[in-house]
Amino acid sequence: MIVELLFLLVALAICWSFLEKRVHKFPPGPIGLPLLGHLPMLGTKPHETLLKWKKTYGDVIGVWFGSYRTVVINDAKLVREAMSMNVFTGRPCMNFFQARCEDKIVRGLVFTDGSQWMEQRRFAL
């Protein structure tokens, strides 16, 4: 009974991971592990692993850090271009940042973005 239940949970995790990774317009990348993503594959020198993946998948790679989708840009010209766009000026909405606040409002210089970040930065300077 326990073996069948464990097998069912593993099969559901694999199916869920496979379905969730099929995101429209997400860059190509290596196949990751369910729930862990590509974290175990990065090793002790993740920058070397990402450079190796650049040769296989191109300058823009889709990588999963745990359950978070991430796009890695491996080209200086593309990074410069991306940093000049307003789309890339924000922070990701992660539960970890909100969990550290009682009222679920993220504060400070490091974890905020937008007008609140500009106000805090102006005050700090």
In the chain, at which residue ranges do the beta strands (DSSP E only) sit?
Answer: 60-65, 68-73
**Facing residues of 69 across strands?**
64
pLDDT of residue 115: 75
CB contact set of 106 (below 8 Å; sequence gap of 6+):
97, 98, 112
Tens of pLDDT along 74-88? 999 998 888 888 777
Instruction: Name residues whose C-beta falls within 8 Å of residue 44's C-beta, 6 or more positions apart in sequence.
Output: none
pTM greater than 0.75 (yes/no):
no
User: Which three-class secondary structure state does DSSP give residue 37?
Assistant: strand
